Structure 1
Amino acid sequence: MPDTSERTWELLRLAADRGLTLRPETAVLDDTGWDFQVLRAATGAGREWILRVPRRAEVATAARAEQRLLALLRGRFAVAIPDWSIADSELIAYPRLAGEPAASEDITSYELVWRIDRVDPPAAYVDRLGAFMAELHATPVDAAAATGIPVRDADGVRGRFAVQIDRGGQEFGMHPSWRDRASRWLQRDDLWADRTVLIHGDLHPGHTLVDPAGALTGVLDWTDAEVGDPGQEFVEAARKFPPVVLDRLVAAYGRHDGPAWPGLRGHVTEAIAFAPLALGILGLEAGKQRYVDRAREYFGTPTV
């Protein structure tokens, strides 16, 4: 349904001030994002555009690094990535990429509405996603770091998780069994990569675009890109699917020469188990109480 709220008109005016005229009757506002408000609308000629408006000043600052990263990566992949035509502190705008999200969050129930088979996703989705991840992780780290995105080395990755566990214990009433499990994971050198790579950082199905057959066609929202843990890339890419899909994704990653290591599968299994921790901390920082409540409930009971 088209959206004609006051906020929609404000976003359309921002675009018009920069020479981009969009038809109000085509506008659809997405207010679910943590960092950006997003508006989808079309020109008079029918070309659809995506408008992103930063919610906070620090988001606008980080977006400049995201813009430089997208420029570095353009043309490197078999799938599409956004090509920003307008980018300043108030507005980002780019032509909408082909395809639809593999899954979208219902704004009322917060449940995912799937466009692909969640239990048995198409091979053209899983294989292309593994290939994309392998290609992305092969990006020269120095070039990625020069864009200004966050950079962590292997020790920094483990140290960050240790800090999160400490905070989780304070904020979420973490059961001792979860602390014990985290300690065992941190001590297992074989489960941690010995190097870091460029990662997208948030490859959940809503940020992956598919065609009507379910084949991967594009990857959206590079806000969380960093030089970091290659295993972390698999978490949002796989945790909404049954465990067998993770096996398929790891296999595809290996087929396409992704920098796997013997402990990758075990590392990702632990990272998926602890995924509500990072989300709970983000909920604290962004005022998203439902993620805080979910983390308290999840970590307040013993781990299996």
Structure 2
Amino acid sequence: MGNVWDAEMVVSPFMAKQLIEGQFPELAPGEVNEIGKGFDNTVYSVNGKYIFRFPRRAIAVPLLKTENRLLPPLAEKMPLPIATPCYFGSPVPDLYPWPFTGYYLIPGKPPGCLSHAERITSAVPLGRFLRALHAFPAEQAKSLQVPYDELDRLGVVNRRPKLLGFLNEIRDLQLYERVDDLEQIVQDTEPHETAGHEVFVHGDLHIRNITVDANGKVSGIIDWGDVHIGHPAVDLSIVYSFLPPEGREMFFHVYGEIDLQTQELARFKALYTTVLLMLYGHGHQDAELIKAAGQSLDLLRL
């Protein structure tokens, strides 16, 4: 049985250079370097100024198209830099079957392992960012063809057995010591009604989709492929996987208070996403990601 992140097509550095220079000759000769890959896209830096993302699976193509429509009008309203498209690549017969997109480079790097003090510096900027994002008019988002939550990301009943299975896998692989504590969080999470919430959300806010500066402070938000209309807990998961308790207090002072049900759903979503990131790191022999995910799991237990 395959993994959820298995690619259907991987764009090599040579192919990326072919596609980029063939459609955007002003970027030639292109300095093209792979900087990462996720579930949906292979990512290259180009000339130290741009980021190009190439879908790895067909399911990622409509997500990329949504980003292309949405992000330019959204960028001017956000208090943190976001990945803004500037090059729109087309499929090439017999070479690459899907569109691809180039973005202005956001300075910074994935957070990796940080101290509590470093993490706390991001509490207020993250609070301001999510307050502004969740205030973006849902009707405007719908007019840009942003979908509803089609994956039931907060469906505790359906996701609980999957999450417990992932945790068993982490225990068997000896990737994390306190799996029992995490299983207790899963068992204690009650299903909650999420219908009726029409908030514009990023949809996949975690340690691989934010960047930080040299001081560990959040500097930008990337990878908007999961953007949708849904429950704010989907995004508020970052509060529990990235911030220590002191930082959470500062965050909610800026963002606004949330009820206990939203807190519970946000923690559950954070756990689900972080566990998948840890398993992804193991599958790709990414020791740094495994360690960073372990820090997030430590925070979730606080």
Bigger Cα displacement from structure 2, 127-136 vs 171-180: 171-180
Q: Within 5 Å, which residues of 2 pair with 1:122-271? A: 124-152=121-149, 160-168=155-163, 185-186=189-190, 195-254=197-256, 260-261=258-259, 263-271=261-269
Bigger Cα displacement from structure 2, 12-21 vs 128-137: 12-21
Question: What is the identity, as a one-letter code, of the residue corresponding to 1:139?
Answer: F
**What SS does structure 1 have at the residue aligned with 2:189?**
helix
Matched residue, 2:55: 54
Q: Within 5 Å, which residues of 2 pair with 1:108-127? A: 112=112, 114=113, 117-121=114-118, 124-127=121-124
Q: Within 5 Å, which residues of 2 pair with 1:72-111? A: 72-87=73-88, 88=90, 89-97=98-106, 99-103=107-111
Q: Is the 8 A contact 1:164 1:277 kept in 2?
A: no
1:17 aligns with 2:14: no
**What SS does structure 2 have at the residue aligned with 1:101?**
coil
Query: How far off its partner does 1:148 sit?
Result: 2.9
Matched residue, 1:71: 72
Question: What is the identity, as a one-letter code, of the residue corresponding to 1:78?
Answer: P
**What SS does structure 2 have at the residue aligned with 1:205?**
coil
Q: Is the 8 A contact 2:156 2:189 kept in 1?
A: no
CA deviation map 1:37-72 (0-9, x unaligned): 111121xxxx61111111122212221112112133
Question: What is the identity, as a one-letter code, of the residue corresponding to 2:124?
Answer: D
Q: 1:31 to 1:242 in 2, by over 3 A?
A: same
Q: TM-score, normalized by length of structure 2? A: 0.68
Across the two proteins, how many residue pairs are aligned to each other?
Answer: 260
Q: TM-score, normalized by length of structure 1? A: 0.68
Query: How far off its partner does 1:131 sit?
Result: 0.3
**What SS does structure 2 have at the residue aligned with 1:227?**
strand
Question: What is the identity, as a one-letter code, of the residue corresponding to 1:96?
Answer: L
1:32 pairs with one of 37, 47, 55: 37
Query: How far off its partner does 1:237 sit?
Result: 4.8
- Mapped to 1, the partners of 2:262 and 2:210 lie a distance apart of 22
RMSD between superposed Cα atoms in Å: 3.9
Q: 1:268 to 1:15 in 2, by over 3 A?
A: same
Query: How far off its partner does 1:19 sit?
Result: 2.0
Q: Percent identity?
A: 19
- Mapped to 2, the partners of 1:171 and 1:213 lie a distance apart of 33
Question: What is the identity, as a one-letter code, of the residue corresponding to 2:14?
Answer: W
- Mapped to 1, the partners of 2:266 and 2:84 lie a distance apart of 31
Q: 1:241 to 1:217 in 2, by over 3 A?
A: closer
Q: 1:125 to 1:23 in 2, by over 3 A?
A: farther
Q: 1:123 to 1:178 in 2, by over 3 A?
A: closer
Query: How far off its partner does 1:15 sit?
Result: 0.9
Question: What is the identity, as a one-letter code, of the residue corresponding to 2:40?
Answer: D
**What SS does structure 2 have at the residue aligned with 1:135?**
helix
**What SS does structure 2 have at the residue aligned with 1:34?**
coil
Q: Is the 8 A contact 1:164 1:278 kept in 2?
A: no
CA deviation map 1:65-114 (0-9, x unaligned): 121121331300122222212224332112212x21251xxxxxxxx3x4
Question: What is the identity, as a one-letter code, of the residue corresponding to 2:12?
Answer: R
Q: Which consecutive unaligned segments of at least 5 residues does structure 1 have?
A: 1-5, 104-111, 299-303
- Mapped to 2, the partners of 1:205 and 1:178 lie a distance apart of 18
Matched residue, 1:108: none
Query: How far off its partner does 1:138 sit?
Result: 0.7
Question: What is the identity, as a one-letter code, of the residue corresponding to 2:100?
Answer: L
Q: Which consecutive unaligned segments of at least 5 residues does structure 2 have?
A: 1-10, 91-97, 170-178, 295-300
Bigger Cα displacement from structure 2, 82-91 vs 67-76: 82-91
Query: How far off its partner does 1:274 sit?
Result: 4.5
- Mapped to 2, the partners of 1:270 and 1:57 lie a distance apart of 28
CA deviation map 1:265-291 (0-9, x unaligned): 4443444444456669x97xxx95999
